[in-house]
Amino acid sequence: MDKRPKILYVEDDDSVFNAIKRQFDGRVELLRGATLEEGEKLFWENQMTLDLVIMDGCINSTAPNTMPLIRKIAKTGFKPIIACSSHPCYNRFLIDAGCTDEIEKSEIVDYTLNLFNIK
Q: What is the CATH number of the domain that holds 80?
A: 3.40.50.2300
Indicate if the pLDDT at residue 77 is higher than 90: yes
Rounded to an integer, the average pLDDT of 100-119 is: 96
pLDDT of residue 119: 86
Question: For the purposes of burial, counting CB atoms within 10 Å of the CB of 40, is it exposed (0-12), middle (13-18) or buried (19 or more)?
Answer: middle
Distance CA 113, CA 111 (A): 6
Percent of the chain with pLDDT over 70: 98
Indicate if the pLDDT at residue 2 is higher than 80: no
- The boundaries of the domain holding residue 63 are 6-115
pTM, entire model:
0.95
Give the HSE-up count for residue 92: Cα atoms under 13 Å, Cβ half-sphere: 1
pLDDT of residue 1: 63
19: number of Cβ within 10 Å: 15
For residue 96, give the H/E element and its range: helix 91-97
